[in-house]
Structure 1
Amino acid sequence: MNFSVLGSLEVTDDKGGQLELGGVKQRAILGYLVLNANKVVPTSRILQAMWDGEPPPTARKMVQNAVSGIRRLLAGHHDLAPALQTRPPGYQLRVATGTIDLFRFRSLVREGREAITAGAAEQGAEQLREALSLWRGRALADLVETGICWSELAAIEDERLSALEDRLDAELACGRHREITPELEVLTATEPLRERLCVQFMLALYRSGRQADALTVYRRTRGALIDGLGLEPGRGLQELHQRILEHDATIQVPVLASH
């Protein structure tokens, strides 16, 4: 049995058949337990996650009914089926983390970062590309559409963006600045306040011989930061801007990556 949360919530059996997960509350509780796989999740946390504000008087019973439904769903598949157990003060979904795309993503990201730290940028970039390919859209996109807005989902999205930025750094180290420029153009438009993406875009443009465009990106990002957050760009972004103005040789294509 495999669980997918990097996109709409999906559960498939070992033959690839997709399971019917029931109504919104049951799907949401299952999704929340999958995000917290192998941890005891207190019932109080589940109630807070499922209801914005004061839960209705029947909330605990609704959670119990949903848990019973999830147990029936899981019990119908005996191929290394995960178990949803009652563990005071709540519930624990015991499952092999390798069957959850989120945990496979995290494992690949960790391996990619270790490779980059060891000086194997090409290998690291490949592993990070594989990790990011597991995403099919926003995490638990179908539940988000129903109004769910968990802090866990924002944290997971930040994990995705951080992995993406690490991959782009590795691509730059491999001399693929021209290849990633179109991707960075889109990313900096959708995430205008993420300074690391701006740094990467400016570097990619500068190394492609587009100094004026790199400086335009800086002005645009500075304006967005001032308008959106009331802040000047951070030191790293300001220093890169100055180095581009000075044609600093240290920001040219790395020697090992140049062709």
Structure 2
Amino acid sequence: MRQRIALATLVVFANQTVLSDRLVEAIWPDRPPAASNNLHVHIYQLRQWLRRLDADVPDDLLQTRPGGYLLKTLPGERDVDRFDQLLASARQRAEVDPLEAVKFYQRALDVWRGPALADVVGHTTALTGEAICLEERRLRALEELIDIELRRGRHAELLPELLALASAHPLRETLCGQLMTALYRAGRRAEAVSVYIDMKKILMEDMGLEPSPALRRLYYQILNEDAALAGAPAGGYRACQLPE
């Protein structure tokens, strides 16, 4: 597991020098007296493992640098790089060709095979922040895909997924607004109103905050049965999305 943690840290910060102290902190949070010497052993064993994994691994893949180590990768070699490339393609097409954009969003999200860094975050806290940031990027991409699908009028097909997502992420206002929009368009106005009330209660009790102006505006649109929410031509719920 220690080699796995070292490799995960080097991959997350690929093409950057990762200081030895950072690796030691990740691998041995309590920092035993011989941690620095043990790190050299683990890096040596990691190099041997990489060579056994692929005989064509270049000699400079894992480099020793002043004060630390660097894992060299090429564009597109890491899952996150492929995700970013596909996501950029999806965003470029979002306004001009929504159907084609959906395909790229789905391909980008298919890169994910589970929670980011799932096999190491339970064994070290050093990568917790990076795992949270990666998960946030995945959720943003998913929200963007849902927004396009709502604009395409696919609210009925989205409802089961939105219900599950809103339950799993009760503080995400974008998902809440998207669920409200889908429920309203499906003729379930009372449920859409209830979703807002529940969200407001959670925000007030957990964070002492009111819902955002965008979410409140959507709520009043639903109460007033605003024609702008009636279908695909009006656009999906976008106002609460995080900025680029």
Pick from 141, 153, 159 the counterpart of residue 163 of structure 1: 141
Secondary structure, in 3 states, of the residue corresponding to 2:153? coil
Task: Please give the alpha-carbon distance, in whole angstroms, between the structure 2 residues aligned to 1:96 and 1:84.
Answer: 13
Give yes or no for the alignment of 1:46 onto 2:20. no
Secondary structure, in 3 states, of the residue corresponding to 1:57? coil
Report the residue type matching 2:227 in the other structure.
A
- CA offsets per residue over residues 121-168 of structure 1, 9 Å max, x none? 222222111111121211121212324452111111111111111111
Structure 1 residue 181: deviation in Å?
0.7
Structure 1 residue 96: deviation in Å?
2.0
Task: Please give the alpha-carbon distance, in whole angstroms, between the structure 2 residues aligned to 1:65 and 1:40.
Answer: 18
Report the residue type matching 1:68 in the other structure.
Y
- Superposition map of 1:168-247 within 5 A: 168-247=146-225
Judge which range, 194-203 or 105-114, deviates more: 105-114
Aligned equivalent of 1:35: 12
- CA offsets per residue over residues 104-132 of structure 1, 9 Å max, x none? 1121112112211x432222222111111
Aligned equivalent of 1:20: none
Report the residue type matching 1:50 in the other structure.
I
Question: How many correspondences in the alignment?
Answer: 232
Judge which range, 200-209 or 144-153, deviates more: 144-153
Give yes or no for the alignment of 1:133 onto 2:113. no
Task: Please give the alpha-carbon distance, in whole angstroms, between the structure 2 residues aligned to 1:111 and 1:31.
Answer: 27
Secondary structure, in 3 states, of the residue corresponding to 2:56? coil
Give yes or no for the alignment of 1:119 onto 2:81. no
Task: Please give the alpha-carbon distance, in whole angstroms, between the structure 1 residues aligned to 2:212 and 2:149.
Answer: 23
Task: Please give the alpha-carbon distance, in whole angstroms, between the structure 2 residues aligned to 1:119 and 1:154.
Answer: 32
Contact residue 125 and residue 167 of structure 1 kept, 8 A: yes
Report the residue type matching 1:29 in the other structure.
A
- CA offsets per residue over residues 48-88 of structure 1, 9 Å max, x none? 33333x52221111221111111112223233547100122
Secondary structure, in 3 states, of the residue corresponding to 1:99? coil
Give yes or no for the alignment of 1:64 onto 2:30. no
Report the residue type matching 2:158 in the other structure.
I
Task: Please give the alpha-carbon distance, in whole angstroms, between the structure 2 residues aligned to 1:218 and 1:141.
Answer: 32
Contact residue 50 and residue 57 of structure 2 kept, 8 A: no
Secondary structure, in 3 states, of the residue corresponding to 1:175? coil
Aligned equivalent of 1:97: 75
Secondary structure, in 3 states, of the residue corresponding to 2:132? helix
- CA offsets per residue over residues 180-214 of structure 1, 9 Å max, x none? 11000001001000000001000111111111111
Report the RMSD for the aligned CA atoms in angstroms.
Answer: 1.8
Contact residue 74 and residue 83 of structure 1 kept, 8 A: no
Task: Please give the alpha-carbon distance, in whole angstroms, between the structure 2 residues aligned to 1:80 and 1:249.
Answer: 60
Judge which range, 92-101 or 163-172, deviates more: 92-101
Contact residue 203 and residue 251 of structure 1 kept, 8 A: yes
Structure 2, gaps ≥5 residues long:
236-244
Give TM-score, length-normalised by structure 1. 0.84
Contact residue 37 and residue 97 of structure 1 kept, 8 A: no
Report the residue type matching 1:32 in the other structure.
T
Secondary structure, in 3 states, of the residue corresponding to 2:206? helix
Task: Please give the alpha-carbon distance, in whole angstroms, between the structure 2 residues aligned to 1:252 and 1:39.
Answer: 50
Report the residue type matching 1:47 in the other structure.
V
Give TM-score, length-normalised by structure 2. 0.89
Task: Please give the alpha-carbon distance, in whole angstroms, between the structure 1 residues aligned to 2:110 and 2:138.
Answer: 11
Judge which range, 160-169 or 41-50, deviates more: 41-50
Report the residue type matching 1:253 in the other structure.
G
Secondary structure, in 3 states, of the residue corresponding to 2:100? helix
- CA offsets per residue over residues 202-252 of structure 1, 9 Å max, x none? 011111111111101101111111111111111111000001111112222
